[in-house]
């Protein structure tokens, strides 16, 4: 049994793409350890950024109430959030692409209230979360919503998803940058630059980062300045605001 298979023997990691686990195994602080230590350290890393979300309340939750159980979404007032987005960008979009969507798909009723009939396409690396949301969409006859099981490090897959979506597009990267940066430093910059090359003048990008750690003890204000500077250098920053202990940046590629 190889190290990827050993890592995935734990249920919480069984739904992650092999390519993602392989990237973690190749991290500098892991790759020179013994096989037993590699698996232990890889699981610890994955638990921090992925497994922590797979609580029983999430996996057994009902409809939109799941949003109040999931760590990355429980503090958000989605009605207020989408209302603010519309006030800045308008509601003309045909597609929302939500990279690393977590459980945001359960907010689709709020999306419909803010944007009207719109396609929602989530991309999530944890298969269990994909299945939960797709069951929710099917149950409620939300035929224009789905979540794809995917790896954000697979650039060809991401380009295909963007290229096949209807314009204009509203693209979310909500609390995703941290995980990307910790798996591969500077990858989020590469991801954003690649994404920019596929945007048209009506597309809008929304990025968020937490202002506090999961425990709530530490603030990240200084640590996040690089991201805002990067957006200003490579995109057109059209709004910045704080809500729900998150910092949001809204930008256009042109």
CA max distance for the chain: 54
pLDDT over 90, % of the chain? 52
pLDDT digits (tens, 9 = 90+) for 214-232: 544 555 554 568 899 999 9
Q: What is the structure's pLDDT at 1?
A: 61
In the chain, the N- to C-terminal Cα span, in Å, equals 48
Q: Please, which residues have CB within 8 angstroms of residue 56's CB and are 6 or more apart in sequence?
A: none
User: For residues 97 and 169, is the Cβ–Cβ distance under 8 A?
Assistant: yes
On the CB side of 123, CA atoms within 13 Å amount to: 24
Q: What is the structure's pLDDT at 229?
A: 93
User: For residues 154 and 180, is the Cβ–Cβ distance under 8 A?
Assistant: no
Q: What is the mean pLDDT of residues 23-46?
A: 87
Query: For residue 246, what is the enclosing H or E element?
Result: strand 246-252
Locus of tokens 């999306």:
111
Q: What is the structure's pLDDT at 236?
A: 95
Could you tell me the domains of the chain?
3-49 (no CATH), 61-252 (3.40.50.150)
pLDDT digits (tens, 9 = 90+) for 191-213: 999 999 999 999 999 999 888 65
Q: What is the structure's pLDDT at 210?
A: 86
pLDDT digits (tens, 9 = 90+) for 69-116: 544 556 788 999 999 999 999 989 999 999 999 889 999 999 999 999
pTM of the predicted structure, to 2 decimals: 0.86
pLDDT band at 141 (very low <50, low <70, confident <90, very high): very high
| DSSP for residue 219 | B
Measured CA to CA, the distance from residue 178 to residue 174 in angstroms comes to 10
Q: Render the burial of 74-90: b for 16+ CB within 10 Å, e for the rest.
A: eebebeebbebbeeebe
Q: What is the structure's pLDDT at 68?
A: 58
Q: Please, which residues have CB within 8 angstroms of residue 111's CB and are 6 or more apart in sequence?
A: 78, 82, 96, 118, 120
How far are the Cα atoms of 29, 119, 156 from residue 92, in angstroms, in the given order?
Answer: 46, 12, 27
User: For residues 138 and 104, is the Cβ–Cβ distance under 8 A?
Assistant: no
Q: What is the structure's pLDDT at 17?
A: 87
User: For residues 150 and 124, is the Cβ–Cβ distance under 8 A?
Assistant: yes
């Amino acid at each position: 049994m190889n190290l990827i298979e050993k890592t995935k023997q734990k249920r919480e990691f069984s739904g992650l793409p092999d390519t993602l686990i392989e990237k973690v195994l190749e991290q500098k602080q892991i790759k020179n350890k013994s096989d037993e230590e590699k698996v232990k350290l890889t699981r610890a890393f994955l638990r921090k950024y992925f497994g922590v979300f797979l609580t029983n309340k999430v996996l057994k939750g009902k409809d939109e109430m799941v949003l109040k159980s999931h760590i990355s979404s429980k503090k958000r007032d989605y009605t207020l959030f989408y209302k603010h987005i519309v006030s800045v960008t308008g509601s003309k979009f045909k597609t929302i692409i939500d990279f690393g969507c977590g459980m945001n798909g359960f907010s689709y009723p709020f999306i419909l209230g803010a944007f009207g009939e719109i396609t929602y396409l989530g991309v999530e690396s944890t298969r269990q979360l994909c299945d939960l949301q797709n069951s929710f969409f099917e149950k409620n006859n939300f035929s224009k919503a789905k979540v794809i099981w995917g790896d954000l490090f697979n650039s060809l897959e991401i380009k295909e998803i963007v290229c096949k979506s209807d314009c204009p597009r509203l693209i979310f990267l909500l609390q995703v940058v941290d995980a990307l940066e910790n798996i591969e430093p500077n990858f989020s910059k590469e991801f954003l630059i690649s994404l920019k090359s596929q945007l048209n003048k009506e597309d809008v990008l929304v990025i968020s980062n937490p202002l506090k750690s999961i425990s709530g003890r530490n603030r990240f204000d200084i640590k996040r300045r690089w991201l805002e500077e990067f957006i200003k250098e490579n995109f057109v920053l059209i709004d910045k605001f704080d809500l729900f202990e998150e910092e949001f940046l809204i930008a256009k590629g042109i």
